[in-house]
Amino acid sequence: MVLKRAEWPQPDEYAVAVATKVAAYGAYVVLPEYGNKEGFIHISEVSSTWVRNIRNHIQENQRVVIRVLRVDQQKKHIDCSLRRVSNEAKRAKNNEWKRAQKAEKFLELIAKENGMTLETVYQKIGWPLEDSFGEIYKALEVAADVGVEALEHVESTKKLRKQVADLAKARIEIPSVEIEGEMKIQVPGPDGVEVIKTALSKGLVMGESREKSEFEIYTLGSPRYKLRITSPDYKEAEDLLSEILTSVTKTIEGKSGTIVFDRK
C-alpha cells in the first residue's frame, strides 16, 4: 500500500502511478501512495518526441513514475506528466518507493505485535520516525546500526522505540552509509581561491584517521564543491561530516568568506 501523510500530492512532486486505461488521447492512472486517487496523462505529456502509438510508452497495469502538474481537489483529479520525468528522477523515486515498501512491511510487524492497525502504528511511531530522520527506512537503518539510543529523541513511547530498534537489529542488514552534499563557498579578495584550497585541504586531513570511512571533496565548478563520505558506520560518517564542515567553515569564515552546505 505505502501510506503518505498528505492526502493529495503537490504540483511538481514525483509520484508512483499505475495505468488503469490507455486511450488514443492519453492514459488514466491511479496513485497508490495517495489512496489510489485518479490522474490523467494527456498524450502531449507522454513523451518529448512524437507519439505514434501511445502503447509503446505506457500500457494498462504498468507502474510508472509521473510528475504532478495540477491538482484539482474539488473535481478529485490530478494532471500528470510522463515526459517531464528525467531518468535520474525516475531512479530516485523508484528507490524511495522500494524503501517505503520495506518500511511499511516492517511497521506491519510492529502492528501485529501490538494488536494495532497499520494506520495507528504510522501515527504512533512511523510518522515520528519520519519527522526525526526524514525517512522511515533511514530511521530503521540507524536503529539497526546504533541501537535504541538512536531513537531517544523520537516522539513515541519507550516500548515502541525499543520494539522498533530490536526488530531493526534482527532484520535489517546495514549497507554502506553514504552521505553527500554540496558546499557553496565564496571568499572575497584576490586570495579567495587560495583560502578555499587551504580550507578544503584541511578538511581532507580530518578524515585521514578514520580507517573505516572513505571520503572525497571535488569541485563542481566554483563556487560549488561536492563532499561525499562512505562508511559502514553511520555514527562515524556523521561525526566525520561534522568535523570536516567545522574545519572548512572555520577557515572560510576566518577570512570573511561564506559557506553553505546543502545535504543531498
CA triple 246-202-227, angle to 5 deg = 65
On whether the CB atoms of residues 237 and 229 are closer than 8 A, the answer is: yes
d(C-alpha 248, C-alpha 243), whole Å: 9
Q: What is the pLDDT of residue 130?
A: 96
Q: Which domains does the chain have, with CATH numbers?
A: 14-83 (2.40.50.140), 88-171 (1.10.150.190), 177-263 (3.30.70.1130)
d(C-alpha 175, C-alpha 83), whole Å: 33
Q: Please give the chain's pLDDT, 264 residues, in tens.
A: 688 889 999 999 999 999 999 999 999 999 999 999 999 999 999 999 999 999 999 999 999 999 999 999 999 999 999 999 999 999 999 999 999 999 999 999 999 999 999 999 999 999 999 999 999 999 999 999 889 999 999 999 999 999 999 999 999 877 677 888 999 999 999 999 999 999 998 888 876 767 678 888 888 988 999 999 888 777 888 888 899 999 999 999 999 999 999 987
Q: For residue 197, give the C-alpha cell.
A: 584550497
d(C-alpha 144, C-alpha 174), whole Å: 7
This prediction's pTM: 0.64
